[in-house]
Amino acid sequence: MVKVGIVGGTGYTGVELMRLLARHDGVSLHAITSRKEAGMPVAEMYPSLRGHVDLAFSTPQDAQLQQCDVVFFATPNGIAMSEATALLDAGVRVIDLAADFRIRDVAEWEKWYGMSHASPALVAEAVYGLPEVNREAIRQARLIANPGCYPTAVQLGFLPLIEAGVVNAESLIADCKSGVSGAGRKAEVHALLCEAGDNFKAYGVAGHRHLPEIRQGLASAGGAPIGLTFVPHLTPMIRGIHATLYARLNRDVDVQALFEQRYAQERFVDVMPAGSLPETRSVRGGNTCRIAVHRPQGGDTVVVLSVIDNLVKGAAGQAIQNMNLMFGLPEGQGLDIVPLLP
Amino acid sequence: MVKVGIVGGTGYTGVELMRLLARHDGVSLHAITSRKEAGMPVAEMYPSLRGHVDLAFSTPQDAQLQQCDVVFFATPNGIAMSEATALLDAGVRVIDLAADFRIRDVAEWEKWYGMSHASPALVAEAVYGLPEVNREAIRQARLIANPGCYPTAVQLGFLPLIEAGVVNAESLIADCKSGVSGAGRKAEVHALLCEAGDNFKAYGVAGHRHLPEIRQGLASAGGAPIGLTFVPHLTPMIRGIHATLYARLNRDVDVQALFEQRYAQERFVDVMPAGSLPETRSVRGGNTCRIAVHRPQGGDTVVVLSVIDNLVKGAAGQAIQNMNLMFGLPEGQGLDIVPLLP
Amino acid sequence: MVKVGIVGGTGYTGVELMRLLARHDGVSLHAITSRKEAGMPVAEMYPSLRGHVDLAFSTPQDAQLQQCDVVFFATPNGIAMSEATALLDAGVRVIDLAADFRIRDVAEWEKWYGMSHASPALVAEAVYGLPEVNREAIRQARLIANPGCYPTAVQLGFLPLIEAGVVNAESLIADCKSGVSGAGRKAEVHALLCEAGDNFKAYGVAGHRHLPEIRQGLASAGGAPIGLTFVPHLTPMIRGIHATLYARLNRDVDVQALFEQRYAQERFVDVMPAGSLPETRSVRGGNTCRIAVHRPQGGDTVVVLSVIDNLVKGAAGQAIQNMNLMFGLPEGQGLDIVPLLP
Amino acid sequence: MVKVGIVGGTGYTGVELMRLLARHDGVSLHAITSRKEAGMPVAEMYPSLRGHVDLAFSTPQDAQLQQCDVVFFATPNGIAMSEATALLDAGVRVIDLAADFRIRDVAEWEKWYGMSHASPALVAEAVYGLPEVNREAIRQARLIANPGCYPTAVQLGFLPLIEAGVVNAESLIADCKSGVSGAGRKAEVHALLCEAGDNFKAYGVAGHRHLPEIRQGLASAGGAPIGLTFVPHLTPMIRGIHATLYARLNRDVDVQALFEQRYAQERFVDVMPAGSLPETRSVRGGNTCRIAVHRPQGGDTVVVLSVIDNLVKGAAGQAIQNMNLMFGLPEGQGLDIVPLLP
């Protein structure tokens, strides 16, 4: 049994990790930390966990995380970079669900995240945890940078086109829509039901932190820099990301076959039949990314529709998929979930 | 392995049965019928089932349901009463998720449901499938009348009080709120997002079909007729029932202890700590009924708050709980689900 | 033209006052204060007001509110009681949308609101601004205590029964459901879309501040203390209150006629035809309270359904109705709004 | 007073026309037809109109529409083209809110709408009712083709760029998101709250009927054919369209100034300050189109954000704006509405 700790379990990625780990046969949940809520039973804050998680939140000191095999950081940006070293030194493997280790160019990271990086050396060591790209490296990794939610949906949608070199990579467009849980469980006015409900808007048009992460991944896949316009939008639902991706084909190609071949062995990427229109609810609660490819009016603009649950394949589910790979467990263990529809 | 058939799998209780049965280790799914959609792969209508259910809808003839061990009717009212006999005669056990066998007084049933009953004899045989009341009879039953969603939430909320005789049973009030999925997957104007969204209303105030069902259950529990005012409301959410129940105590009693004792052995009834305020989302996707009991200002009015997921404990989950009992499986098999929150 | 000031215009009642006053021909908007946002154009915070309100938020000092004819307090509880005296002394009339002057028993107020009252003398002077009860007093008032949202819906629903003495007033039940805007525009976790969306729950069962306000109003109407169980619920919508009221008739009476007669002259109370089921959206954005009365199965329990828009008849609209009365304007001026449906 | 008739008043554009016309000082509402609901008071179907609209639905025969000055068709496609001629011959002016007269190329229309056109001659006469483009022609018109909702938002967003010739018009992208009311008040499964709620999806990717309408308008504005990829999406809200538009600049230009100049005289187009992020709710219930222009990272991709209320500027409001122009009334009469927020 893999002994698991969670740092910062009071947010949505924290409770989602617990939801999934509670039904994972290969792990035991050792500790969940929260300085602020130390002592409170987890199930008191999240009654959905009553009968499933008996732990209380503990302080980092009491948690004795160095006894764990793996620790998940479900914390704000900037925490894991300060606390990971001690755990790694103690032989604990670390999966950071925040952004601390996602960007290899530390100066670029510092610019977008507005703080100095506490552990540049770890950035170089960290493996970007997108199994569909880095599976073998993940198996060997001590430290995983778990991808962002938008980057997961966008990269999985563009990868087959970029890897095959069949699109003009200088003018990609990613028009993305996210449920409000992407903003986390923070007391902020813009995420109130009365602000975000029955409403639709773009945000971060001038520049969103997931832009450099996506650019890095696609540039690596294509072997050359890419040009991307990324516009995220807030949509009045709880979970789900829908990425609508646009690229110009530079040659005639069977895009459906291209996607099917690329993901033929991927358990958590579902290339839907030609003509499909994936819905976010078709992956609600599950770890699957569903993708459909279109060429409207048969033209040279390819439109990729890619949906994930931002809290699962976009966060906690992918983190567990990475953990499974790191510990030699079946990649899908604990993730064999039928999405909740309706 | 219990061989399972489903009649009428295109509605919400049908897809919910499939979601749950797909992860149930003790069953094999044999056939799902739909006259209208015969030939269509189930996962084409419900992409959430892609990779989990490989069957296509079949006609009733092709389905060969008499080969099943058990058949669920996830059909409109009036179907099971006509089709159950042939299956029972073939040795197949039947669980009806509709209302055909719920009311023991056939004349009363015919009045509320506006049709003649095709099999009055079966009404007498059928066992009302509320395990918290009828567990032993369910184990032996050939035919289960699976309770309605409101009746499940309301009866579980009132039962400890009625059984103990501590409230005035002539003037009970059940103010109930349901998500829209209770209306089914039918093309009806009142259930459109633009009609039911951002809106709240009562309905069925003059008389709702679940009223006689609740009255029958509570009268049986208390050994005397009860008086009940039942007002259902439609609330702009997908899943969930919240029953707010009012009764006058006829003696001073520790209601918290009363509820805890009544349900101490019940895996799917969670009596929350005193002062709790159960949320419908705390049971979303799960088979649990969560209950809290209050005496506002310490007066003699007791307020019971009872929440379920109408599609799970209020329909498909309870049906599977009944199936488990009927076939000697662990009662909670396939139902050990952590609710999806947020 | 009545010269109007608003103290605390950044919340939902503040923006709603501006929405309505911007289209009111008899007023001029003089100043809107916000210490925190002083200097920011109102329409920058609320783009819906672009082209309709040209003012910027000002500090209380800069606002020179003593030059106004009337000042609305759209502030948290506890502000108006400290600031009203100076305005009244300057000859400015005051309408408080918060609770500072609603409860005549100051000790009771201090218990429920958890603070000392700064101006007990003003409590005695203040007129409770429910025009359907206090119209003549409102016309003469210097200081109005604008009713709470729940108290408006509940009192208007119970009044005809209480005034006529036809129900048992010791055991009233008010099961109320509110949209989330009732919680205001405050950064609080429980009002996030991901917490309040697709979810339903009760709150304040042990005691809600609107309980003493409702009790006071109904006791006054009936000439005797009343007993009330009041259970508020949060429903996943933005605007709207639906009060479902239960009472036992103590004699046989034509409740439909009773309500129609009571409100025959009331422009903003709409007694719907017998059998109606009022929807909250039917009053969305409007100042009307719609009411339907039922006697399920012809029994002696009367069920009243009462809906308002909590931000209009439950707050800003009623405040303007009061202002119109105070200044001799037509009572409905600026309030002749067709609700927004869908 | 302009005497107004409405054909087909039971849908959302019908009720929206009535909401707006009920508060329009320059018109009298003569008749509203509905074959199916003839005899039913309008306010019985739409209680929001109680006290504002006293008419009952009438049959087309009883309605005597030829006595009107203007008739609005709020009907499905294919009705106005058969019924307009008789009215025009009787001297009645006609505004069609459906698509019958929007596409000048009749063969193209027949291909997209799947029926033969009953009045090709009227297509040639009809004026496309986008006042920001065709104001003078609208004043003189007998017959108005009121624009579609997506075409309004998309054309207003692209027009300044296309007219000025500053973008590559062969590769425009319009990624559009609509509230569910765009689907009308029809009993269809895909528009149920349980299907469209808490969910996001694209539709019509292979080809949507608004594509040729947008292409026609932009080609006319630019004097050359344009290439457009148009992807509509369904978003879980009631009202609102958010168009996110992408184009490549072919020269360096101050796009903010370009938009401000283009719409300087337009009362119902609000070019927001640079950096703005328009929300759909900022126009909820109002006739304004709000637009913001961005050049992310200062590159040559321009991103235009354009929001309207699909039922107002995208349908009923624009129709009344057209009527005002046709009858020499102030263009904004009856449309001076402060949007409802929250």
Residue the block writes with tokens 């027009």: D159
Asked if D193's CB is within 8 angstroms of B238's CB, the reply is yes
Instruction: Write down the catalytic residue from D68, D149, D176, D289.
Output: D149
Query: What is the Cα–Cα distance from B263 to A76, expressed in whole angstroms?
Result: 41
Residue C331 lies in a domain: no
Helix (H) or strand (E) holding B12: helix B12-21
Rounded mean pLDDT of C87-101? Answer: 98
Rounded mean pLDDT of A96-116? Answer: 98
Asked if C181's CB is within 8 angstroms of D279's CB, the reply is no
Chain D, 151-190: which have a CB under 8 Å from a chain A CB? 171, 173, 175, 177, 179
- At residue D52, the 3 state secondary structure works out as coil
The residues that bridge with D221 in the sheet, in sequence order, are none
- What does DSSP say about strands B143-145 and B127-128: parallel, antiparallel, or unpaired? parallel
User: Is the CB of residue A341 less than 8 Å away from at least one CB of chain C?
Assistant: no
Backbone torsions φ then ψ of B340, nearest 5 degrees = -90, 110
Q: For residue C9, what pLDDT is reported?
A: 85
Rounded mean pLDDT of C111-133? Answer: 97
CA–CA distance from A105 to each of A121, A142, A167 (Å)?
A: 11, 20, 26
A-chain residues near B242 (CB < 8 A) = none
Query: What is the Cα–Cα distance from C243 to C240, expressed in whole angstroms?
Result: 10
Asked if B283's CB is within 8 angstroms of A285's CB, the reply is no
Q: What is the pLDDT of residues D196-251, one digit of tens each?
A: 999 999 999 999 999 999 999 999 999 999 999 999 999 999 999 999 999 999 99
The residues that bridge with D32 in the sheet, in sequence order, are D6, D57
A-chain residues near C237 (CB < 8 A) = 197
Q: What is the pLDDT of residues A284-300, one digit of tens each?
A: 999 999 999 999 999 99
Closest CA in chain D for residue B186: D189
DSSP state of D142: S
Buried b (16+ CB within 10 A) or exposed e, D266-302: bbbbbbbeeebbbbbbbbbbbbbbbbbbbbbeeeebb
Asked if A181's CB is within 8 angstroms of C197's CB, the reply is no
Rounded mean pLDDT of C147-167? Answer: 98
Query: What is the Cα–Cα distance from A176 to B294, expressed in whole angstroms?
Result: 45
Residue B252 exposed, middle or buried by CB count within 10 Å (0-12, 13-18, 19+): exposed
**pLDDT tier at D161, thresholds 50, 70, 90:** very high
Rounded mean pLDDT of D85-92? Answer: 98
Task: Note if D149 is an active site residue.
Answer: yes
Query: What is the Cα–Cα distance from C3 to C85, expressed in whole angstroms?
Result: 19
Looking at this protein, which amino acid is placed at residue A227?
A: G
Sheet hosting strand A289-294, strand order edge to edge:
A201-202, A228-234, A172-178, A241-248, A301-308, A289-294, A269-271
Shared domain check, A176 and A77: no
Q: For residue B204, what pLDDT is reported?
A: 97
Chain D, 226-285: which have a CB under 8 Å from a chain B CB? 236-238
Residue A169 near residue A227 (C-beta atoms within 8 A):
yes
Query: What is the Cα–Cα distance from D321 to C297, expressed in whole angstroms?
Result: 50
**pLDDT tier at B9, thresholds 50, 70, 90:** confident
Chain B closest-CA separation from residue A283 CA (Å): 6
Asked if A46's CB is within 8 angstroms of B340's CB, the reply is no
Residue B98 lies in a domain: yes
Shared domain check, B285 and B157: yes
Give yes or no for residue D9 having a pLDDT over 90.
Answer: no
**Average pLDDT of every residue of chain A:** 97
Chain C closest-CA separation from residue A336 CA (Å): 25
Chain D closest-CA separation from residue C27 CA (Å): 16
Q: What is the pLDDT of residues B24-75, one digit of tens each?
A: 999 999 999 999 999 999 999 999 999 999 999 999 999 999 999 999 999 9
- At residue C255, the 3 state secondary structure works out as helix
Asked if D187's CB is within 8 angstroms of B194's CB, the reply is no
Residue B99 lies in a domain: yes
Residue B25 exposed, middle or buried by CB count within 10 Å (0-12, 13-18, 19+): exposed
**Out of D52, D181, D340, closest to residue C342 by CB:** D181
**pLDDT tier at D20, thresholds 50, 70, 90:** very high
Shared domain check, D83 and D15: yes
Tally of CB atoms within 10 A around C193: 28
User: Is the CB of residue C49 less than 8 Å away from at least one CB of chain D?
Assistant: yes
Residue B175 lies in a domain: yes
The CATH number of residue C117's host domain is 3.40.50.720
The CATH number of residue B187's host domain is 3.30.360.10
Shared domain check, A226 and A88: no
Query: What is the Cα–Cα distance from D167 to D302, expressed in whole angstroms?
Result: 9
Shared domain check, B23 and B116: yes
- A118 CB contacts (<8 Å, ≥6 apart)? A78, A81, A82
Q: For residue A105, what pLDDT is reported?
A: 98
B-chain residues near D236 (CB < 8 A) = 193, 197
State yes or no: ipTM above 0.90.
yes
The residues that bridge with C3 in the sheet, in sequence order, are C28
Q: What is the pLDDT of residues B111-156, one digit of tens each?
A: 999 999 999 999 999 999 999 999 999 999 999 999 999 999 999 9
Q: What's the number of domains chain D is made of?
A: 2
Q: What is the pLDDT of residues D245-258, one digit of tens each?
A: 999 999 999 999 99
- What does DSSP say about strands D57-58 and D70-73: parallel, antiparallel, or unpaired? unpaired
Shared domain check, D157 and D120: no
Shared domain check, B104 and B221: no
Asked if B191's CB is within 8 angstroms of D192's CB, the reply is yes
DSSP state of B192: B
**Out of C15, C336, C341, closest to residue D341 by CB:** C15
- C148 CB contacts (<8 Å, ≥6 apart)? C99, C102, C209, C210, C213, C314
A-chain residues near B282 (CB < 8 A) = 46-48, 50
Residue C71 near residue C7 (C-beta atoms within 8 A):
yes
The residues that bridge with C58 in the sheet, in sequence order, are C33
Residue C110 lies in a domain: yes
Shared domain check, D278 and D241: yes
Q: Which two tokens stand for residue C305?
A: 């359904």
Buried b (16+ CB within 10 A) or exposed e, A274-301: eebbbbbbbbbbbbbbbbbbbbbeeeeb
CA dihedral A186→A191→A194→A197, nearest 10 degrees, is: -140
Q: Which two tokens stand for residue D152?
A: 């309004």
> Computed from CA positions of residues A30, A33, A39, A40, in that sequence, does the dihedral angle turn out positive or negative?
negative
Q: What is the pLDDT of residues A8-63, one digit of tens each?
A: 989 999 999 999 999 999 999 999 999 999 999 999 999 999 999 999 999 999 99
Residue D338 lies in a domain: no
Query: What is the Cα–Cα distance from C274 to C291, expressed in whole angstroms?
Result: 10
Asked if C48's CB is within 8 angstroms of D341's CB, the reply is yes
Shared domain check, C80 and C178: no
User: Is the CB of residue D199 less than 8 Å away from at least one CB of chain C?
Assistant: no
Structural domain containing residue C284: 149-310
Q: What is the pLDDT of residues B266-288, one digit of tens each?
A: 999 999 999 999 999 999 999 99
Shared domain check, D181 and D294: yes
Closest CA in chain D for residue A275: D206
CA dihedral B74→B76→B77→B79, nearest 10 degrees, is: -80
Looking at this protein, which amino acid is placed at residue A156?
A: L
Q: Which two tokens stand for residue C48?
A: 């819906």
Q: For residue C109, what pLDDT is reported?
A: 98
Query: What is the Cα–Cα distance from A268 to A202, expressed in whole angstroms?
Result: 29
Residue D268 near residue D289 (C-beta atoms within 8 A):
yes
Residue C276 near residue C310 (C-beta atoms within 8 A):
no
- At residue D116, the 3 state secondary structure works out as coil
Shared domain check, C259 and C181: yes
The residues that bridge with C27 in the sheet, in sequence order, are C2
Q: What is the pLDDT of residues C211-258, one digit of tens each?
A: 999 999 999 999 999 999 999 999 999 999 999 999 999 999 999 999
Asked if D48's CB is within 8 angstroms of C282's CB, the reply is yes
B-chain residues near A25 (CB < 8 A) = none
DSSP codes joined into one string, B42-107: HHHH-GGGTTT---BEE-HHHH-GGGSSEEEE-S-TTSHHHHHHHHHHTT-EEEE-SSTTT-S-HH
Q: For residue A9, what pLDDT is reported?
A: 85
Three-state helix/strand/coil letters over A137-204: HHHHCCEEECCCHHHHHHHHHHHHHHHHCCECCCCEEEEEEECHHHHCCCCCHHHEHHHHCCCCEECC
Residue B144 lies in a domain: no
Shared domain check, D200 and D72: no
Residue B328 lies in a domain: no
Residue C192 near residue A192 (C-beta atoms within 8 A):
yes
Query: What is the Cα–Cα distance from C79 to C113, expressed in whole angstroms?
Result: 13
B-chain residues near D189 (CB < 8 A) = 185-187
Give the closest residue to C92 by CA, choosing from C17, C143, C164. C143
- Tallying the residues shown for chain A, one arrives at 342
